Structure formats: structure tokens, C-alpha cells
Structure 1
Amino acid sequence: MEKKREHVRKPDWLKIKISNSESFKAVKNKFTGKSLTHGM
């Protein structure tokens, strides 16, 4: 049970890490794109 729980937990934080880096990339792209578009 302990092992299974850890096996379930690991992909969770990995997923969160990936989604965080992806959303960070998307936000960065959005900001740079907006800066280029609006000349801010």
C-alpha cells in the first residue's frame, strides 16, 4: 500500500511540475507577444 501510494503520488507532482513550467512558458509567450503587439 505504501509503495502503491507513492507510485500514485509521483506522477501527480510530476504532472504539476510540467503543467507549471508549461503555463509559465505560455504566460511568458503571452507577455512577450503582448509586448511586441502593443509596444508596451
Structure 2
Amino acid sequence: MEIILENLGRRFNRDWIFKNINYTFSQPETYAILGIN
């Protein structure tokens, strides 16, 4: 299985937290997304 992200972005109020993220997640790799809550 493959998950493809294209032009992903996230805003908090008027500020971009991240913008224009492109990435492909492929098997059999393991991924984690970490950050402050």
C-alpha cells in the first residue's frame, strides 16, 4: 500500500503551520509524526 500527500497544508488562525508538503509513504516502512500538543 502507498499513501501519497500532495500540497498538504495546515493553518492555525492566520499562520501556516506547514504548507505545500509532498511525500509518499511506502510499505514496509514505519512512520511516526511527533510534535507538541
Does the TM-score normalized on the shorter chain lie above 0.5? no
Please identify the structure whose Cα radius of gyration is greater.
1
Between Structure 1 and Structure 2, which shows a larger proportion of helix residues?
A: 1
TM-score normalised per structure 2: 0.17
Between Structure 1 and Structure 2, which shows a larger proportion of strand residues?
A: 2
Of structures 1 and 2, the one with the larger relative CO (CA 8 A, separation 6+) is: 2
TM-score normalised per structure 1: 0.17
